Homo-oligomer: A and B are copies of this chain.
Amino acid sequence: MYAAHAPETRPATRNAHNTGCSGCAHAATCQAGGYGEATLSGLRDIVERVGLLRDGEYLYRPRTPFRALYAVQSGMAKTVAVDSSGREQVLAFHLPGELFALDAICLGHHDNAVIALGRTQFCRFPFDRLRCLTTTQPDVQWHLMHTMSRQIHQQRLSGGDYPAEERMAAFLTNLSDRRTLLGLRTDHLPLPMSRADIGNHLRLATETVSRLLARFRDARLIRVERQGIEVLNGKGLREIGRHLLQA
Contacts and interface: CB of A to CB of B under 8 A. Distances in A.
A158 interface: yes
A104 to B, nearest CB: 7
A66 to B, nearest CB: 10
B106 A146 contact: yes
Contact of A243 (B83, B102, B151, B152): B83
B247 A81 contact: yes
A87 B131 CA distance: 41
Contact of A152 (B144, B151, B158, B244): B151
A103 B146 CA distance: 9
Contacts of A151: 152
Number of copies of this chain in the oligomer? 2
Contacts of A138: 134-135
A146 B105 contact: yes
A149 B106 contact: yes
Interface of A: 81, 83-85, 87, 89, 91, 102-107, 111, 131, 134-135, 138, 141-142, 144-153, 155-156, 158-161, 200, 203, 242-247
30 contacts: A81-B247, A83-B243, A83-B244, A83-B247, A84-B242, A84-B246, A85-B242, A89-B160, A91-B156, A91-B159, A103-B149, A103-B153, A104-B149, A104-B153, A105-B146, A105-B149, A106-B146, A106-B150, A106-B153, A134-B141, A141-B141, A148-B149, A148-B152, A151-B152, A152-B152, A152-B155, A155-B155, A155-B159, A158-B159, A159-B159
